[in-house]
Amino acid sequence: MATEITVPALGESVTEGTIGEWLKQPGDAVAVDEPIASLETDKVAIEVPSSVAGVMSAHKAEVGDTVEVGAVIAIIEAGGSAAAAPATPEPAAKTAASASTTTESSSDVSQTLSPAVRRAVLEHGIDPSTVKGTGKDGRLTKEDVIAAAKAKGDTPAPAPAAASASAAPAQAAAPTSAPAGTRNTERVRMTRLRQTIAKRLKGAQDTAALLTTFNDVDMTAVIEARAKYKDLFAKKHDIKLGFMGFFAKAAHLALKDVPSVNAQIDGDEIVYHDYVDISVAVSAPNGLVVPVVRDVDKKGFAQIEKDIADFGRRARDGSLTMDDMSGGTFTISNGGVFGSLMSTPIINPPQSAVLGLHRIEDRPVVVDGEVVVRPMMYIALSYDHRLIDGREAVTALKIIKDAIEDPTRMLIDL
């Protein structure tokens, strides 16, 4: 019996998505609740599971197609047995690669490779069965293949030219080498998530009156506190004590004392929040995502660190949900993990402010009339000047600076 697989509900106000990748091909066996496709929405990538066990009969949409909630995207023959997929013409590049035993069929790989990964495997001559995948459920990513190629010291071989329909068989099988010094380009369609990021950031620039104020922070006290308590903290809470917990709690003090930094504009009204939900910018394979640590004002360091660590893990394996990303009254973005010295972060609409953190480096500073070397970090607060005055922005950033330089303030609510 044939069963139609439809696009599931994607979350509040989300009515459509884009087919990002087929995880099952026609002829593949499918188990109940096994993911068959990856669907990209404006915020996250969602895996579409099969409601029945059987065999993938047909795709009803192609990679890159936009599909609405409830639309049929695949047919599963329930209770069937796996069979070979319908024969399709093989490109010459695939034929040549098969001869060199570098495709997934010749390397006994059971997982389904995405088009981008398959192309990288062919270009670099990598046996995918020898590469450990870091994607969802251990699947290979393009970055995994490239890293394996670099480890081997290989460079991508020019892809053989595909034979035309009228070419002789001998000509079709013969790879064509690109001339030395050839300069190639590749066009890759932007993912739906990347398109949304681009629109939102540009929209923030077009709508908000953006301004950034800077300060620098002496990280000595926080570094010493971490060094002193990290082992006890990890033993008791089963999580490392990081910097983000300190900055989240310091931001809470600032947002409480300067409510406009925790507010947003809605039409001709200002919406103030009596809670602190901090969006934490996390790097994911397809772009930057901002899951929300809720009720920072009520949570301790351990729970904040656990929430952030969990978001980071789920961002990497693609399991963040729409609810994880909804809401948020303020954002913290840590460019320092990538080596950034200073930046002007862009607010995350409809929020009105974002705190940018940067790398820590030893710099000479004057303390009590003497030049000493201290671990310093530049911090930046970008804000919507329509709502937040310069005095308020500078005050909020100074509160964060003072709390980091003297963490006791966070304990006694100063």
Domain definitions of the chain by residue range: 2-78, 92-161, 192-411
Judge if the upstream peptide bond of residue 350 is cis by omega within 30 degrees of 0. Answer: yes
Fold match between domain 2-78 and domain 92-161 = no
Across the chain, what does the average pLDDT equal?
81
**What average pLDDT does this structure show over 5-23?**
80
Q: How confident is the model at residue 280 (pLDDT cuts 50, 70, 90)?
A: very high
Nearest CA among 13, 10, 75 for reference residue 45: 10
Instruction: In whole angstroms, give the CA distance from residue 389 to residue 167.
Output: 70
pLDDT confidence band for 176 (50 / 70 / 90):
low
3-class SS letters over 125-144: CCCHHHCCCCCHHHCCCHHH
Greatest extent of the chain over all pairs of C-alpha atoms, in Å? 84
User: In the chain, count of helices (H) and strands (E)?
Assistant: 11, 18
Please, what's the b/e burial string for 52-84 (b: 16 or more CB within 10 A of its CB; e: otherwise)?
Answer: bbbbbbebbbeeeeebeeeeebbbbbbebeeee
Specify the range with the lowest mean pLDDT, choosing from 178-182, 315-319, 326-330, 371-375: 178-182
For residue 343, the tally of other CB atoms under 10 A from its CB is 17
Task: Report pLDDT for 352.
Answer: 95
The mean pLDDT value for 14-35 works out to: 85
pLDDT at 320 over 90: no
pLDDT at position 166 is: 39
- The pLDDT, as a whole number, for residue 168 is 39
Residue 45: band (very low, low, confident or very high) from pLDDT cuts 50, 70, 90: confident
Q: Which of 389, 402, 406, 413 is catalytic?
A: 389
Q: What pLDDT, on a 0 to 100 scale, did the predictor assign at position 401?
A: 97
Fold entry, domain 92-161: Dihydrolipoamide Transferase (4.10.320)
Indicate if 385 belongs to the active site. yes
Burial of 238 (0-12, 13-18, 19+ CB in 10 A): exposed
CA 223/CA 349 separation, integer angstroms:
33
Please tell me the predicted confidence (pLDDT) of residue 136. Answer: 62
Give how far Cα 292 sits from Cα of 113, 254, 307, 414, Å. 32, 18, 9, 25
- Please give the share of the chain, as a percent, with pLDDT higher than 70: 80
Residue 119, pLDDT score: 65
| 135 vs 236 pLDDT, higher one | 236
Q: Tell me, what's the pLDDT at 346?
A: 93
Is residue 83 pLDDT above 60, yes or no?
no
Residue 274 predicted with pLDDT over 50: yes
pLDDT tier, 93 (very low <50, low <70, confident <90, very high otherwise) = very low
Q: What does the pLDDT look like over 98-155, one tens digit per residue? A: 433 333 333 334 455 665 676 677 677 777 778 888 776 677 777 788 888 888 765 4
Dihedrals phi, psi of 192, to nearest 5 degrees: -60, -40
- Residue that the structure tokens 């892809």 belong to: 159
Kindly report the CATH number that applies to the domain delimited by 2-78. 2.40.50.100
For 358, the enclosing helix (H) or strand (E) is strand 353-367
What is the model's pLDDT at position 33?
Answer: 86
Q: What pLDDT sits at residue 107? A: 38
What value does the mean pLDDT take over residues 284-302?
86
What pLDDT does 217 receive?
Answer: 97
- 3-state SS, 168-182, equals CHHHHHCCCCCCCCC
- Residue 389 is among the residues annotated as catalytic for this protein: yes
Whether pLDDT at 247 is above 50: yes
Catalytic one of 237, 273, 385, 402: 385
The band of 3, judged by pLDDT with boundaries at 50, 70 and 90, is confident
With a cut of 50, say whether residue 19 has pLDDT above it. Answer: yes
For domain 192-411, which CATH number applies: 3.30.559.10, 1.10.3720.10, 2.30.30.140, 2.60.40.10? 3.30.559.10
Task: Calculate mean pLDDT across residues 300-308.
Answer: 93
Residue 394 is predicted with a pLDDT of 97
Per-residue model confidence (pLDDT) at position 89 = 43
